[in-house]
Amino acid sequence: MNVMQLAARKVSRRLVRDFGEVENLQVSRKGPGDFVTAADVRTDEKLRDALQQARPNFGFLTEEGKDIVGQDETRRWIIDPIDGTMNFMHGTPVFSISIALEEAGEVTAGLVYAPVSDEMFWAEKGQGAYLNDRRLRVATRRHMGDTVIGTGMPHMGSPDTTGYLAELGAVMAECGGIRCLGAASLDLAYVAAGRFDGFWDTGLAPWDIAAGLLLAREAGATVSRTDGGGNPLYAGDVLVANEAIHSRMLRLIRHSRRAE
């Protein structure tokens, strides 16, 4: 965790400066709705350098680079140098650096660092989740009407917008409010922190959610796929909330699909 936090803080100084000059950044398109900034690539490289120096044998799975198998084939870093790239490009200060450590196929440590607000969300398996020095717990609200629910909206080129709108309609009709941060890692961190009572999204990549899922679990959330099934990490669809809200949201999402 120390190694991970040092790496995140080290690269964040330049990243925040880049964010201040976002108009001057060279941007390139990376498929529909997805953009890569020069800062993204540079941050990825610098993060890998810092982590590799500290743990030379570990591999990598990162959004910007290719997969690298380490000498130690059982350990790898799962990295998103900027989660919330759209926000970053549009001058909205809601983005994060996400770093997770996967050991023998299981994520054992994760951090989500929002450099503009200087919020370091972190968790180690079995040790709880934290925001800076403060222990995190999921919110205890049990009634949908009291909840604020986070979600990720489909972007250009997403395959099933109609299905999503049915889910959104169903959840919207019962919850207190819907929020969309535009950075899945932070949505999950917000559930861990009790700021959101739940979150669901589909079509996510492992680097978007590896650290955030551990944060949510360690804060006491129920974590599943949106059909209620097992580990969302490589499936990319996720439903996270306290047990009561998770169960209600699962039913709402299932019903909306059947009604479609």
The candidate with the shortest Cα–Cα distance to 114, out of 137, 87, 151, is 87
Strand partners, 99: 79, 111
Q: With contact defined as beta carbons under 8 Å apart, do 49 and 30 qualify?
A: no
Q: Which does 170 bind (CB under 5 to 8 A by kind): Ca ion, ligand 2AM, none?
A: none
Rounded-to-integer distance, Cα 59 and Cα 75, Å = 6
Is the Cβ–Cβ distance between 82 and 112 less than 8 Å?
A: no
CB of 205 to Ca ion, least distance (A): 6
Number of residues that bind ligand 2AM (CB under 6 A): 16
Q: Parallel, antiparallel, or unpaired: how do β-strands 148-151 and 198-201 relate? A: parallel
Would you count residue 152 as binding ligand 2AM (CB under 6 A)? yes
Looking only at residues 61 through 100 of this chain, which bind Ca ion when binding is defined by CB under 5 A? 80, 83
Nearest-angstrom CA–CA distance, 85 and 31: 13
Q: Which is nearer to ligand 2AM, 170 or 186 (CB)?
A: 186
- For the bound state, the minimum distance from the C-beta of residue 104 to ligand 2AM, rounded and expressed in Å, comes to 26
Tokens representing 192 are 């861990």
Residue type for 147, please?
T
For the segment 154-213, give every residue that binds Ca ion (CB under 5 A).
Answer: 208
DSSP string, 108-131: EEEEEEETTTTEEEEEETTTEEEE
Q: Could you say whether residue 235 binds ligand 2AM (CB under 6 A)?
A: no
| 110: contact with ligand 2AM by CB under 6 A | no
Contact 177, 226 (CB under 8 A): no
Of residues 45-64, which lie at the interface with ligand 2AM (CB under 6 A)? 63
Binding of residue 41 to ligand 2AM (CB under 6 A): no
Q: Does 155 bind ligand 2AM (CB under 6 A)?
A: yes
For Ca ion, the closer CB: 95 or 144: 95
Choice between 141 and 223, CB closer to ligand 2AM: 223
* Contact footprint for ligand 2AM (CB under 6 A): 33-34, 63, 80, 83-86, 152, 155, 182-184, 204-205, 208
